[in-house]
A and B are shown apart, each in its own frame.
Chain A
């Protein structure tokens, strides 16, 4: 088991995940710092990520898209807040529109990653916090309303038919 612990703080809308890898810190850092390696784990295999822009400096931007099995592109971005190579990284993670521009009405999370050496391997602590409860609810609601609209569309079709 790589994931050592997971903690969900409902009051602070924070997920904290601790994972232990047997590889050294420098190597695990490369998974984050090398966009070609990042592409190989950021998105699920069915939604592979392609990194278009990658500037791992404070204030820098990362932009990427994930391709759905149907070939649709879903854009996302990071805005880097702090970097201390090879041990820590902090960024805002958000969605973008079809042109790759950050969508202001979509929720963002703040992600902080810390790598520390532990028993010859690396402990990675990842903390992800939703910006606000409103945003988080919005994210869930969007999915819910889409589902409802779909259901309503089917009902409409039945009524018309």
Chain B
């Protein structure tokens, strides 16, 4: 991250309303008009806050009909990969523990040289 990017990010996060908008957008997209209902300020003021978040790369805005929809970061593929990576790590750990448990079993049928390479 360049200094400028960090500045923008910190500036965007330094405001309680903007942090609140961000929190609301985590659960899915929100229209600017719905966001505006949540704060004691004008539609234009909320729109300005959204623009600051947008410049910081924290949200994206998309127009659908008459509505402007705000959502967090558009990098869905990157996030899909991240989520699947986390899931993979969890399951690799589980499989390791499963095989360690199996290895503790008393050998009864002695599999004369298993298929292990």
A residues contacting B by CB (< 8 A) are: 2-3, 6, 8, 10, 13, 15, 17, 19-24, 27-28, 31, 37, 40-42, 44-45, 105, 109, 119-121, 124, 126, 128, 130, 133-134, 136-142, 144-145, 148-149, 151-152, 155
Contacts and interface: CB of A to CB of B under 8 A. Distances in A.
26 contacts: A6-B88, A8-B81, A8-B84, A8-B88, A13-B80, A15-B87, A17-B91, A22-B102, A22-B111, A22-B114, A28-B98, A28-B102, A31-B98, A40-B97, A41-B94, A41-B98, A120-B114, A120-B115, A133-B80, A136-B79, A137-B80, A138-B28, A142-B26, A151-B13, A155-B10, A155-B14
A2 B28 contact: no
Contacts, number: 111
B22 interface: yes
- The 10 residue pairs across chains A and B that have the minimum distance between CB atoms: A41-B97, A2-B99, A8-B84, A22-B114, A119-B115, A23-B102, A141-B26, A19-B95, A136-B83, A10-B80
Interface of B: 10, 13-14, 19, 22-23, 26-28, 72-73, 76-77, 79-85, 87-88, 91-99, 101-102, 105, 109, 111, 114-116
B26 A138 contact: yes
Given A6-B88, A27-B105, A148-B22, A139 B83 contact: yes
Contacts of A128: 87, 91
Main secondary structure, interface of A, reads mixed
A140 B85 CA distance: 11
A27 B102 contact: yes
A145 B23 contact: yes
A148 B26 CA distance: 12
A31 B101 contact: yes
A137 B19 contact: no
